[in-house]
Amino acid sequence: MYEPEQFPAAIVKNYRNRGGVFLIFANSKIICLGIHEIELLETQFDALVEELYEMGLVVEKIDF
């Protein structure tokens, strides 16, 4: 869900039916809310980033 008039981040709720919410900002910062176990956070975050790459929504970093 992305409504920049309401909130300046894309909101990914209940990611993979395991709870938690990810907020993805235009400056590439990602915030996770509602996950209380570090192992679950790592798993969910890795899955989210992988899915973003598969969709072509991630731009590779370029060194100048």
Boundaries of every domain in the chain = 9-55
Residue 62 vs residue 59, higher pLDDT: 59
pLDDT in tens, 4-56: 778 888 888 866 677 789 999 888 889 999 888 999 888 888 888 888 888 88
pTM listed for this prediction: 0.73
Q: Which sign, positive or negative, has the C-alpha torsion 37, 16, 2, 24?
A: positive
pLDDT on residue 61: 62
pLDDT on residue 62: 59
Element (DSSP H or E) covering residue 51: helix 38-55
